Structure 1
Amino acid sequence: MAITRSDLVSALAEKAGTSKTDADAVLSALADTLLDAVSKGEKVSIPGILSVERVERAARTGRNPATGETIEIPAGYGVKVSAGSKLKAAAK
């Protein structure tokens, strides 16, 4: 089962003792901050929970699975999300 955005907002509001509107605003601000930082190539770290960073992907040769034709895949960027120690421990 997945937690929806509204479930997350409700849980944040309850734990923080604030309104759902304020919790939703904070969640939106967090998302915007993550997006801005990653787009600039900055690493975002929440110690013990997670870290998010932009990583470079080198150009490479691939293969079209439908035709078997060799294609050139250009260099680009990806996103690496790493779980922190507290998050890993919670998954056990």
Structure 2
Amino acid sequence: MAKNFSKSNLIDAVANKTGFAKTNVQEMVEALIAEITIQAANGATVNVTGLGRFQQKTRKAREGRNPATGATVQIPESQYLAFKPTKPTKA
């Protein structure tokens, strides 16, 4: 198995297992990713049984340093999409 498994690898694998056309699988995968992103951005927790949980989280504002100059910089609060795998998928 490959170390890096990209979205195109996922599309190919699902197309091979299901017999669906790659273009149809690509549309489904992209729709799935878009819907997870939209729902999480709207504050929902998206649970995919057997895979994990997607949730929008907030990273607090903090102070950092510019590595080139050593100057102190303020890093603003930011949002990110967090993923927590279910127990069966943990390595």
User: If the length of structure 1 is used for normalisation, what is the TM-score?
Assistant: 0.78
Structure 1 CA distance for aligned equivalents of residues 19 and 69 of structure 2 = 57
Q: State the Cα RMSD in Å.
A: 1.8
- The residue that corresponds to 2:85 in the other structure is 83
Paired AA for residue 7 in structure 1: N
Q: Deviations over 1:11-46 (max 9, x none)?
A: 212333433232222111111112211222222111
Q: How many residue pairs get matched? A: 89
Which is further off, 18-27 or 52-61? 18-27
Identity %: 31
Paired AA for residue 5 in structure 2: I
Of residues 61, 66, 69, the one that matches 1:67 is: 69
Runs of 4+ in 1 over 6 A off after TM superposition: none
Paired AA for residue 65 in structure 1: P
Alpha carbons of structure 1 residues 58 and 6: separation in structure 2 relative to 1, 3 Å:
closer
**Shift of residue 9, structure 1, vs aligned partner:** 1.6
User: If the length of structure 2 is used for normalisation, what is the TM-score?
Assistant: 0.79
Q: Which runs of 5+ in 2 are unaligned?
A: none
**Structure 1 position 6 matched with structure 2 position 4:** no
